[in-house]
Amino acid sequence: MGIFSLVTGRPGPSGYGSASTAEQVTEGIDASNLTVIITGGAAGIGLETARVLAIRKAHVIIAARNMEAANRAKNTILDEYEAANVDVLQLDLSSIKSIRVFVDNFKALNLPLNILINNAGIMFCPYQLSLDGIEMQFATNHIGHFLLTDLLIDKMKETARATGIEGRIVNVSSVAHLLAYEGGILFDKINDRKGYSDKRAYGQSKLANILHASELSRRLKVEGVNITGNSVHPGFIMTNLMKYSAVSMKIMKMFSFFLWKDVAQGAATTCYVALHPSLKGVSGKYFEDCNEMKPSAYATDPLLAKNLWDFSRKLINSASKA
């Protein structure tokens, strides 16, 4: 898969490519026995992912910070497909407290959990700290999803054992992981304001998404658990994620329009990795345009992945005590 395939939409080894849509890659798949949580499912590619999973008959839980938007998303799906099974729960990924409340609320529903799609995120925002005192892009894009996954993993293991159905965890990363700081993850300078770059901080958080999925996959394999963990790059899509850089992105799109996707195409790789039967047992991989790709050297560094795991746990424990 290269620039020619990206521009032309020519299918790769999977049979799909950059022009494939979420509906196309899930055609014929019956997900009626699956329960899915998707973060950031109220808008953009998250909403399209939720919509397609719902029309494939999965029980979809939209986890979103803005409940008004989440309910609008639910109604949009129901307007199209009356039989859709969609619920909404509030979740602010930048808040450790909110994540714990969300998990408690989900568990109170007494539902199984087959698929977790860590999709939500923020991009290129000015320097700011979360309520827990963590740089906002790292807090929202990585730490929030790391903690959410950690708190839900036992439910997923329980579901996989009880049903015999493979669980899947999908981290929505980005090719922007290539833009991370020198060294990959600045463990000692996560909250450093002086050296802050909105784009490199975003790249760092997206690199963390890949490393998280990789280390999670390794640990699940060691345990012999029937759950996979993978990461994806959805492609270049103009969504609300770019609100902090809308003008510059629109200018960039004018000169690189042939590289951009629409929302239906942008959700394809996530839906493919979450549902497609050909990926049974495939774990610890990175996908672009519905095909496995090799990410950066930092993203494939097992020591960096382990160090990030340990660092994330310590950071969450420290922030929780504070």
Ordered DSSP codes for 33-87: T-EEEEETTTSHHHHHHHHHHHHTT-EEEEEES-HHHHHHHHHHHHHH-TT-EEE
Whether the pLDDT of residue 175 is over 50: the answer is yes
**Catalytic: 202?**
no
Residues in the chain: 322
Ordered DSSP codes for 138-183: HIIIIIHHHHHHHHHHHHHHHHHHHH-PPEEEEEE--GGGGGPBTT
Whether the pLDDT of residue 149 is over 70: the answer is yes
Question: Distance between CA 216 and CA 227 in Å, rounded?
Answer: 10
Q: How many CA atoms lie within 13 A of 313 on its CB side?
A: 9
Question: Distance between CA 22 and CA 267 in Å, rounded?
Answer: 5
What is the CA 314 to chain-centroid distance, rounded?
22
Question: Distance between CA 163 and CA 50 in Å, rounded?
Answer: 22
Asked if residue 76 lies in contact with residue 51, where contact means CB atoms within 8 angstroms, the answer is yes
Whether the pLDDT of residue 238 is over 70: the answer is no
Mean pLDDT, residues 285-309 taken together: 98
Question: Distance between CA 200 and CA 185 in Å, rounded?
Answer: 10
Written as six digits, the tokens of 75 are 């109604």
Model confidence at 239, pLDDT cuts 50, 70, 90, reads low
Q: Which domains does the chain have, with CATH numbers?
A: 3-321 (3.40.50.720)
Give 224 or 251, the one with higher predicted confidence: 224
Q: pLDDT tens, 49-95?
A: 999 999 999 999 999 999 999 999 999 999 999 999 999 999 999 99
Q: What is the pTM of this model?
A: 0.92
Q: Which is the catalytic residue, given 16, 127, 181, 196?
A: 196
Q: Letter for the amino acid at 59?
A: H
Asked if residue 206 lies in contact with residue 265, where contact means CB atoms within 8 angstroms, the answer is no
Q: Which of these, 74, 81, 163, lies nearest to 115 by C-alpha position?
A: 163
Mean pLDDT, residues 4-30 taken together: 86
- Which phi and psi (to 5°) does residue 133 adopt? 80, 30
Q: pLDDT tens, 245-258?
A: 545 544 444 444 44
| Residue 281 CA: distances (Å) to CA of 20, 129, 187, 287 | 23, 38, 32, 15
Mean pLDDT, residues 99-110 taken together: 98
| Residue 47 CA: distances (Å) to CA of 65, 119, 169, 322 | 14, 10, 18, 34
Q: Which H helix or E strand runs over 137?
A: helix 136-138
Model confidence at 232, pLDDT cuts 50, 70, 90, reads very high
